Structure 1
Amino acid sequence: MLELRDLQRFVTLAEERHFGRAALRLGMGQPQLSRALQRLERHVGTRLIARTSREVAPTEAGRTLLEDARRVIAIAEAAPGRALQAARGEAGTLTLGFSGSCAYAFLPAAIEGFRRTRPGIELRLREMSAAAQTEALQEGSCDLCLRRALRLPDGFAGAQVFEEPLLAALPRTHALAGRGRLGLRDFAGSPFVAFPRQGTDFQRQLVDLCQEAGFEPRIVQEVSPMHALIGLVGAGVGVAVVPASVRKLRFAGVAYRGLAGLKERSRVFAVWRPDRLSAPARAFAEHLGVSLA
């Protein structure tokens, strides 16, 4: 294996084109430098430096090695700093899984701010269901996930990072679309479009809220992701209760209305494996305001 110090000596000699100047720059004697070059040439198997009466110069093989040697030396010089940056959460790769509905809320601003403050971290984004997130965290293909459900298997941890009000999404052809703020009880006779029972807390939350309002929701269609749900609302299939940030999905046939007297909010949680929380993931969690102490 080539030794880094021999490559450094070779680069210096190729740059100086003179054994005396190169040895002086390296702080070593000329005989020692000559032996280092001979050792390197034996290892490579060919001459690397051509000597003339006035100077020395790299051979064709030497010029090729010179390019590679400079890259190797640059990597070696940068490696300690990069390792320290990685330990501090300033470099490396972060694979972030997220539920689609998070993309309408705080996530874009959070990502923009994180990239600005941690430019050395490569951020890989993966939209996925909560069930897929759990599997990805389990197998290690995701470092941190964001979702609206906090039901966690053993060995996982989570913390709330965002919350927002809930709204009613209803077809513009609905009898209540012309009114302003509504109560959830006003929708007691309406069909509902909801997320599937498995994977998120959306449907459980909808059922609990409707029961508190004194009725059972008549769910006529389960669908995901969020833009598909809103599309069905716009097609007149039913009404839905959604996070306020979903208003950014502007479908021509959909009206959004506030829900009077509704204290329940939609919450987003960061979820991770404490035994696999990388430094970049830790940095992003802290960027979101999660205390990991």
Structure 2
Amino acid sequence: MELRHLRYFVAVAESLSFTAAAERLGVSQPPLSQQIRDLEAELGTPLLWRTSRRVALTPAGTAFLDRARAILAQVEEACAQARAVGAGRTGTLDIGLTGSILAGPLGRLIRRFGERYPAVSVRLHEMPPGEQPAALHARRTDLGFLRRPPDDPELRAVRAWPETVGVALPAGHRLAARDRIALQDLRDEPYVSLRLRDSRFATSLWDACLAAGFVPRLTQQVVESASLVNLVAAGLGVALVPESIGALPRPDIVYRPLADPAPVADVCALYKAPATPVAENFLALMREELGPP
């Protein structure tokens, strides 16, 4: 038994005319009649009474009609669901990120995405940058957001939005009176950093200090930027942070931009090719809202 047998039977049962059913289905009448006979033979019972003047349902046909309609409706629902998933209009979007990334425009993008695709459930997974590639490879996440993508040929990275790097200083610090601070001016300052083994971004900032001619006096390493600024507020050191972190209002911290040439903190969207349909839709919205990479 095939779906066309059900469609043909329902068309005949609803019109009670082989001629009208054939026109409705866009087929000729002889093949339609043969398909109904084949269906009755497979079921082992007549579904229709036929005379030269009329067609009527048998009791078995009446019972079969209800089930046939239900089966066809379920098939159509399954097809519609598959099309929606394939187009990224429904399903789940899993995003890996560090908490500090949410200080930028990502939260607004997620809200706009939810407005455009209300049937897609967005799930956020906070994790260190070093764990994001493995999550993408395992398809536990569809997208990752981080500041220094890994050198991985199986992962694709596109710039999501640009950010510069500045200096977070304790309130009252001697350098706070300056409009801009040169990286070399931090030579003798105690330095707090994101954990170097977890963050390629933290490593790039360390390398920038080396290029400026000094080795940072590293005092503490932490996993999250929120912990980083708390250490700065406590007077344990200065920190190089993205501008989105520096823009967060805190009376116990002063943020100053770096003088050129300054390192950048551009945020990249990372995904495993091919991107899932929901990820493709999110990336398209990101380009629409923030401009091309």
Same fold (TM over 0.5): yes
1:6 aligns with: 5
Letter in 2 for 1:175: H
Query: Deviations for 1:215-253, whole angstroms, at most 9, x for unmatched residues?
Result: 432222211222232233334433211100113544453
Task: Give SS of 2:266's match.
Answer: strand
2:232 aligns with: 233
Distance of 1:251 and 1:231 partners within structure 2: 10
1:67 partnered with 2:75:
no
Distance of 1:75 and 1:150 partners within structure 2: 38
Residues 41-120 of structure 1 aligned to structure 2 (within 5 Å)? 41-42=43-44, 56=57, 59=62, 62-76=65-79, 78=80, 86=87, 95-111=94-110
Letter in 2 for 1:63: D
Letter in 2 for 1:101: S
Distance of 1:257 and 1:47 partners within structure 2: 86
State the Cα distance separating 1:195 from its structure 2 match.
0.4
Which 10-residue stretch deviates more, 259-268 or 92-101?
92-101
Letter in 1 for 2:75: V
Distance of 2:145 and 2:259 partners within structure 1: 28
2:100/2:245 contact within 8 Å kept: yes
1:35 aligns with: 37
Q: Cα–Cα, structure 1 residues 48 and 111, in superposed 2: closer, same or farther, change >3 Å?
A: farther
2:127 aligns with: 128
**Identity rate, percent:** 29
Where structure 2 has 5 or more consecutive residues not aligned to the other structure, the ranges are none
State the Cα distance separating 1:126 from its structure 2 match.
3.4
1:193/1:229 contact within 8 Å kept: yes
Task: Give SS of 2:173's match.
Answer: coil
Distance of 1:129 and 1:189 partners within structure 2: 29
Query: Deviations for 1:265-288, whole angstroms, at most 9, x for unmatched residues?
Result: 2122344445x4456555655654
1:167/1:257 contact within 8 Å kept: yes
1:156/1:271 contact within 8 Å kept: yes
Q: Cα–Cα, structure 1 residues 181 and 49, in superposed 2: closer, same or farther, change >3 Å?
A: farther
State the Cα distance separating 1:74 from its structure 2 match.
5.0
State the Cα distance separating 1:91 from its structure 2 match.
7.7
Query: Deviations for 1:33-62, whole angstroms, at most 9, x for unmatched residues?
Result: 6425525645xxx997899x9953764564
2:247/2:255 contact within 8 Å kept: no
Which 10-residue stretch deviates more, 109-118 or 64-73?
109-118
Task: Give SS of 1:164's match.
Answer: coil
Letter in 1 for 2:96: G
Where structure 1 has 5 or more consecutive residues not aligned to the other structure, the ranges are none
TM-score between both structures, scaled by the size of structure 2: 0.70
1:177/1:255 contact within 8 Å kept: no
1:247 aligns with: 246
Distance of 1:256 and 1:49 partners within structure 2: 83
Letter in 1 for 2:7: Q
Distance of 2:158 and 2:256 partners within structure 1: 29
Distance of 1:108 and 1:237 partners within structure 2: 30
Distance of 1:124 and 1:219 partners within structure 2: 35
Distance of 1:239 and 1:39 partners within structure 2: 84
Q: Cα–Cα, structure 1 residues 72 and 177, in superposed 2: closer, same or farther, change >3 Å?
A: same
Task: Give SS of 1:137's match.
Answer: helix
1:268 aligns with: 267
Query: Deviations for 1:88-109, whole angstroms, at most 9, x for unmatched residues?
Result: x788765443343332224345
Letter in 2 for 1:164: E
Residues 181-200 of structure 1 aligned to structure 2 (within 5 Å)? 181-183=179-181, 184-200=183-199
